[in-house]
Amino acid sequence: MALDWFKKVESSKGLFAVERISLVYNAITTILIVLLYTRMDHPGIMLLERAGIVAITFGLIYLYQKYPCRLSAFIRMIVQMSFLAYWYPDTFEFNRLFPNLDCFFASAEQFLFGCQPSVEFSKLCPDIWFSEPFNLGYFAYYPLIAIVAIYYFVFRFDLFEKASFVIVTSFFLYYLIYIFVPVAGPQFYFPAIGMDNVTACNFLSIGDYFNHNDILLPGPGFEQGLFFELVEASQEVGERPTAAFPSSHVGISTILMIMAWRVNKKLCYGLAPFYVLLCCATVYIQAHYLIDVFAGWISAIGIYILSTWMYKKWFASRYFRLVLNR
């Protein structure tokens, strides 16, 4: 049964789990900014942005205390999820200071598969019947997150805080990896070394090249396709040479499938076609190496288990503990 969004609940003066982990990640990256201050382009602005996120967080807590209902609880948690759009490109501000590692990943790809799957896949399937479904799958990434989160809110409100926490914490764990493992992926690395070197299997080390360059390879596929254009537009606006290994698109979507399976198998079956297309699309559009996809699948299991354990052990808020124990 769907819940009443405006049903009053017991007001809680504490932080929700998703707010706590957001503040923890905020603090960790703030410390990194201080340590790397002299090497960063705009550390002062980054610190102010973090202070703004903290201010918004506590402003929403105040709003919730004045109007304690399920909708205001939802707003508190969904705003933290929306901040992920800020935290993702933020990883680039850190990892571009370190030597790029794409040369090792492209070399490993060549050694394992005898080719560059991201190049060969798009060459093998260039027409609209492959391009559009794959781009649809890639574009479905954020709708998948929204669908699973809203399903938990509407139908399993007792688990909504846990679901939000697992999603946001999973992103933060991937983001910490991206900060210290600077891999940009084929769509950035191949233009940096030139396709002639890719063809010759000369995978050059480019050092901190991405500290000053962010040229993005145009995506392959049917260029007049609607979803091709949507993916291209979104990448031009928000993509950075970061976050290639492991693939968070694959990892997070795998976690979403696990979460959907646990509460409604029909929901999981309904999302499955988009999940399969998304996993294929990460390589097809050259956002990731194939080994990034394998790492995404493997890491998803560990990150899901870890984030679930963290919620139960440290982060569950008092209000949702009461809901769970009823």
Bond into 117 cis (ω within 30): no
Residues 6+ apart with CB under 8 A from 165: 17, 18, 21, 307, 310, 311, 315
Sequence letter at residue 297: W
Sequence letter at residue 321: R
Sequence letter at residue 14: G
Q: Where does residue 12 fall: left (phi above 0), alpha (psi -120 to 50 degrees), or beta otherwise? A: beta
> Are the C-beta atoms of 162 and 313 separated by less than 8 Å?
no
Q: How far apart are CA 310 and CA 326, in angstroms?
A: 21
Nearest to 132, CA basis, from 215, 228, 209: 228
The per-residue b/e assignment along 292-308, b for 16 or more CB within 10 angstroms, e otherwise, is bbebbeebbeebbeebb
The SS3 of residue 55 is helix
Residue 271 tokens, joined: 């999302």
Sequence letter at residue 237: V
Residues 6+ apart with CB under 8 A from 201: 110
Q: How far apart are CA 141 and CA 292, in angstroms?
A: 17
- What is the per-residue pLDDT for 325? 43
Torsional sign, CA 239, 245, 250, 256 = negative
Q: What is the pLDDT along the chain (326 residues), one digit of tens a residue?
A: 445 555 555 555 689 999 999 999 999 999 999 999 999 999 999 999 999 999 999 999 999 988 888 888 889 999 999 999 999 999 999 999 999 999 999 999 999 999 999 999 988 888 888 989 999 999 999 999 999 999 998 899 889 999 999 999 999 999 999 999 999 999 999 999 999 999 999 999 999 898 888 777 777 776 777 888 888 888 777 778 899 999 999 999 999 999 999 999 999 999 999 999 999 999 999 999 999 999 999 999 999 999 999 999 888 766 555 444 44
Nearest to 86, CA basis, from 39, 54, 40, 38: 54
Residues 6+ apart with CB under 8 A from 95: 178, 179, 180, 181, 182, 242
- What is the per-residue pLDDT for 237? 73
Nearest to 9, CA basis, from 101, 85, 71: 71
- What is the per-residue pLDDT for 126? 83
Question: What single DSSP character describes residue 221?
Answer: S
